[in-house]
Structure 1
Amino acid sequence: MLRIHFTGADLARTSVASRPDPLWETVLSLRMLQHRTGNPAADAWGRAVLARRPEGLRTLLPLVRPFGYFPDFLTPSDGSPDIEHGLDALAATPARHLRGDLAVLAAGGPLPAWTEDLAAGRPEALRGLAGALRGYHAAAVAPLEQTMRTTVRAEYAAQAKAAAESGIEGVLSGLGPGMRWRPPVLEVQYPVDQELHLNGRGLLLVPTLFRARTPVSLLDPELPPVLTYPARRTVSPDGSADRKLVPLIGRTRTEILHHTSEASRSTSELARLVGMSQASVSHHTAVLRAAGLISSARHRNSVLHTATSLGSLLLRG
């Protein structure tokens, strides 16, 4: 069990990420790749990735095992907007952190000889690791970028609504299976016992497309506190529905359909989520409504849009 201890200051500083973290998604996808999920779409994605033999995969698998610990330095907490920023942050990891993380990993099984250079912080080893992450990400994760962004945006919008209605404790109370808010402690089902005292730093909640068996945090309590958890959407990790829909109705309308399948959305809310003007969103919703994919109804001073049964079926591929 992981127990995360909050103070009043921590509640005020807790937030939800509004965009995918490329390195967290990369590492979690590596873990998913190594076991059956029971989800046909996710397992099909895994088979396709393994068939492609992406560059860097053999280097990364000893660091990200199917279960248990993986090094904290693989997921630097800098809010990286893209993979390159994340890799720059990884390359700046102090040697003492590299050495400490790899010592923890080695306790669970032997490591390849090249990790000795990594533990010493040698630049060529760090460059090799960055290259492996870059190559694997390009082949296995980057093709799902739009799906990841849509997924995390929808989760962020849902949590923003929960926070507006019930405060941050409302968010903590509804994070999903395996997590229970018992003020002032968030209890998380976890493979080991761990206590995390936030001490006024707050917690960054990071929704992810790729699902670990349990939510994941960092081991080092001195690092900025992070908790990843599966975004509560039914988007296939293989992105198959999006690949079929985008050529048919366009990327923006696909995004709007995703958002309206999660909850009824106002025009202004959709404009914020997809990053365009309300006038442009109104045009797209009119097209979707005419096709029978969404319905629209006036509520007070807003028009709320909701995916129809047909729209939801299309999203499921």
Structure 2
Amino acid sequence: MLRIHFSPADLGRIHLAPGPDPAWETLLSLHVLGSNDQDPGMRSWRARVGGSLDTAARPLLRLAPPRGYSPDFLTPAQGADCMESGIELIVSTSRTQLRTDMATLGQQRRLPPWAEVLANGRAEALRGLGTALRRYHQQALAPYWPQLRATVDAERELRARAFLAGGTDRLLGSLHPTIRWEPPVLLVAYPVDSELRLEGRGLRLVPSFFCRGTPITLRDTSRSPVLVYPVARGIGALEPAGAGTGADTLARLLGRTRAATLCTIADAEHTTGHEIARRLDISPASASEHATVLRDAGLIRSLRVRNTIRHTLTPLGIELLEGRSWAPGGDRAHALAGRTGP
């Protein structure tokens, strides 16, 4: 059992992550990939990813075993709004923490020779770790991110309703069947007995698609407190965005990320660049670049509202998404391909 002790100040410092945390989803998906999980909803994902995992990403399976400890530095306590930001935080981990975390991992399993180089904070090892994380995310998570995002967004909406209906008591008491709120202690089903005293630091709640069974937290209680808990994934398998739909043709025409940007703008009128970056797990600069190309192509229009730029579809953008003007080989499709690029 994990016991999380709240002070009165902590009850006012509960934060719900704004979306799926890229670093936690990376770590927990590695746990699923390396396990014998027979969940039908994950079976096709495990087969697709496990059968063709990028060679550069394979060492991550040694860093993130499905059972036992995984290094805390792989999941920065403050969270990140996209994978690139998360990688920057991970590769800037102090040598002290690298040594401590890797030594803890080494106590439970035999480590390969490169682990010592990483523990010493060698620049080439950290660059290799960044490359491994980037390749893994691109292959195992990015194609499925819209489904992850939608699932976590639905969970966030439920937690918001719980808070509005009954405050922090209702919020903490409804997180997950394995969690029980007995003020001022949050009781969490856990593999080992552990105590976490918040002491005014608050608690960051992270709903996770790949979290399986019981919630998880950092072993190092001196770091900013976080509790990651499973969301209800619903019925159906985890499938790449646009699988079996015309979205594949749109992605070939515009490029996958640019097509996803257009779809994101269509989903919510007057979308901001920050919202695009958050939902697609890309940097704000990348979101701005894709929006600029779509605007130059006449697919969206942008309006400045105070200090924020908001985007909406043009009639041409609507036609493109509805499939009236982008049939392969059509004149409009060729014109757009020339204007938007890859």
In the TM superposition, what is the alpha-carbon distance from 1:251 to its structure 2 partner?
A: 5.0
In the TM superposition, what is the alpha-carbon distance from 1:241 to its structure 2 partner?
A: 8.3
Q: CA distance change for structure 1 residues 91 and 25 in 2, over 3 Å: closer, same or farther?
A: same
Question: Is it true that 1:41 corresponds to 2:41 in the alignment?
Answer: yes
Q: CA distance change for structure 1 residues 242 and 3 in 2, over 3 Å: closer, same or farther?
A: farther
Q: CA distance change for structure 1 residues 125 and 209 in 2, over 3 Å: closer, same or farther?
A: same
Question: Is it true that 1:154 corresponds to 2:154 in the alignment?
Answer: yes
Q: CA distance change for structure 1 residues 252 and 76 in 2, over 3 Å: closer, same or farther?
A: closer
- Aligned partner of residue 243 in structure 1, secondary structure: coil
- CA distance in structure 1 between the aligned counterparts of 2:244 and 2:190, rounded to whole angstroms: 37
Taking structure 2 as the reference length, the TM-score comes to: 0.71
CA contact (8 A) 2:41 2:235 kept: no
Which position in structure 1 is the counterpart of 2:197? 197
Which position in structure 1 is the counterpart of 2:178? 178
Runs of 4+ off more than 4 Å: 244-248, 250-256, 273-278
Deviations 1:197-235 (A, max 9, x none): 000111111011112232110011111111111112416
* Identity level (%): 43
Which position in structure 1 is the counterpart of 2:128? 128
Which position in structure 1 is the counterpart of 2:329? none
- CA distance in structure 2 between the aligned counterparts of 1:245 and 1:231, rounded to whole angstroms: 26
Q: CA distance change for structure 1 residues 277 and 156 in 2, over 3 Å: closer, same or farther?
A: farther
Question: Is it true that 1:89 corresponds to 2:76 in the alignment?
Answer: no
In the TM superposition, what is the alpha-carbon distance from 1:240 to its structure 2 partner?
A: 5.8
Q: CA distance change for structure 1 residues 177 and 241 in 2, over 3 Å: closer, same or farther?
A: farther
- CA distance in structure 2 between the aligned counterparts of 1:115 and 1:68, rounded to whole angstroms: 17
In the TM superposition, what is the alpha-carbon distance from 1:123 to its structure 2 partner?
A: 1.3
Amino acid aligned to 1:58? R
- CA distance in structure 2 between the aligned counterparts of 1:90 and 1:111, rounded to whole angstroms: 20
In the TM superposition, what is the alpha-carbon distance from 1:141 to its structure 2 partner?
A: 0.8
Q: CA distance change for structure 1 residues 132 and 236 in 2, over 3 Å: closer, same or farther?
A: farther
Q: CA distance change for structure 1 residues 72 and 203 in 2, over 3 Å: closer, same or farther?
A: same
Deviations 1:136-188 (A, max 9, x none): 11111111111121111111111111111111221110111211111111111
CA contact (8 A) 2:44 2:237 kept: no
Which position in structure 1 is the counterpart of 2:223? 223
Q: CA distance change for structure 1 residues 104 and 164 in 2, over 3 Å: closer, same or farther?
A: same
- Any stretches of 5+ residues in structure 2 without a counterpart? 249-261, 270-274, 280-309, 319-342
- CA distance in structure 1 between the aligned counterparts of 2:199 and 2:229, rounded to whole angstroms: 22
For this pair of structures, how many residues does the alignment match? Answer: 266
Deviations 1:90-124 (A, max 9, x none): 11111111111111111101111111111111111
CA contact (8 A) 2:213 2:230 kept: no
Deviations 1:252-276 (A, max 9, x none): 69979xxxxxxxxxx9xxxxx9999
- CA distance in structure 2 between the aligned counterparts of 1:39 and 1:166, rounded to whole angstroms: 34
CA contact (8 A) 1:155 1:231 kept: yes
- Any stretches of 5+ residues in structure 1 without a counterpart? 257-266, 268-272, 285-317
Taking structure 1 as the reference length, the TM-score comes to: 0.76
In the TM superposition, what is the alpha-carbon distance from 1:37 to its structure 2 partner?
A: 2.9
Which position in structure 1 is the counterpart of 2:64? 64
In the TM superposition, what is the alpha-carbon distance from 1:135 to its structure 2 partner?
A: 0.8
Amino acid aligned to 1:19? G
- CA distance in structure 2 between the aligned counterparts of 1:179 and 1:24, rounded to whole angstroms: 19
- CA distance in structure 2 between the aligned counterparts of 1:174 and 1:247, rounded to whole angstroms: 37
Q: CA distance change for structure 1 residues 118 and 162 in 2, over 3 Å: closer, same or farther?
A: same
- CA distance in structure 2 between the aligned counterparts of 1:160 and 1:277, rounded to whole angstroms: 26
